[in-house]
């Protein structure tokens, strides 16, 4: 629009100038100038933005836990309890095992010494060896018979061994002998070891077998 106005204005100015020149031209000539300017600007801007975002997330978690526990417990307890009620408010619980024949050996007569007891234990065979030392016996003794048992009374477990001398023809003298006794199949543990001779308690000791 601005270009068109400029063109029209320029045309009018030229026409006026030509008219003046015609009047003032001494030759009587006619000058005609025609300027035509046409400017056409065409701007076309087309912006097309197409953004396509596609996110696909697929998470699959599969947990399979299988626990199988099988417990089989078999307990067999055999207890023989003997309860003695004396009527005085005291109860004694006794678990008694059967008395077993034991192997006893008698050594040669030794010099007079103080009577004592020693012991040793083999944990692999569970054999308990008890030595009754310096026992005063008849000089003509034939041997010693020994029996033993393991018995529990209250909270105490006892190993009891009974010795009896075997004498067919007594002599008129006495001598000190060492007696060795083997008690087999004794489980490890804490015991009170008691040694009896002719039914009388001779030696006693608390022992731990291991």
Domain boundaries, the chain: 95-209
Burial (CB count <10 Å: 0-12, 13-18, 19+), residue 7: middle
Q: What is the pLDDT of residue 66?
A: 55
Q: What is the pLDDT of residue 171?
A: 93
The encoded tokens of residue 138 equal 């008849």
Contact 193, 204 (CB under 8 A): yes
Q: Is the dihedral of CA 136, 137, 142, 143 positive or negative?
A: negative
Joined tokens for residue 110: 């030794």
Residue-level pLDDT at 99:
81
Q: Could you tell me if residue 89 is left (phi over 0), alpha (psi between -120 and 50 degrees) or otherwise beta?
A: left
Q: Would you state the pLDDT for residue 94?
A: 47
- Residue closest to 113 by CA, chosen among 140, 141, 135: 135
What pLDDT score was predicted for residue 108?
Answer: 94
Cβ-contact 104, 159 below 8 angstroms? no
Report yes or no: 138 and 165 within 8 Å, Cβ to Cβ: yes
- Residue bearing tokens 């008219």: 19
Residues of the chain with pLDDT under 50: 1-8, 13-32, 74-82, 84-92, 94
Are the beta carbons of 30 and 22 closer than 8 angstroms?
A: yes
pLDDT value of residue 96: 52
The overall pTM is greater than 0.85: no
């Amino acid at each position: 629009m601005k270009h068109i106005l400029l063109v029209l204005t320029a045309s009018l100015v030229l026409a006026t100038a030509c008219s003046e020149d015609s009047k003032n031209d001494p030759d009587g000539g006619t000058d005609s100038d025609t300027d035509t300017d046409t400017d056409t600007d065409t701007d076309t801007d087309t912006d097309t933005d197409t953004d396509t975002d596609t996110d696909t997330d697929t998470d699959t978690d599969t947990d399979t836990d299988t626990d199988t526990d099988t417990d089989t417990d078999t307990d067999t307890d055999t207890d023989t309890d003997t309860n003695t009620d004396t009527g005085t408010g005291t109860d004694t619980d006794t678990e008694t095992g059967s008395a077993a024949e034991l192997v006893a050996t008698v050594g040669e007569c030794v010099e007079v010494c103080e009577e004592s007891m020693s012991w040793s234990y083999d944990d692999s065979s569970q054999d308990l060896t008890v030595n009754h030392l310096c026992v005063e016996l008849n000089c003509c003794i034939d041997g010693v018979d020994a029996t033993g048992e393991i018995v529990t009374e209250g909270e105490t477990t006892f190993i009891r061994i009974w010795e009896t001398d075997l004498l067919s023809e007594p002599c008129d003298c006495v001598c000190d002998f060492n007696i060795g006794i083997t008690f087999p199949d004794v489980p490890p543990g804490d015991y009170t070891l008691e040694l009896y001779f002719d039914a009388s308690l001779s030696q006693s000791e608390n022992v731990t077998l291991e």
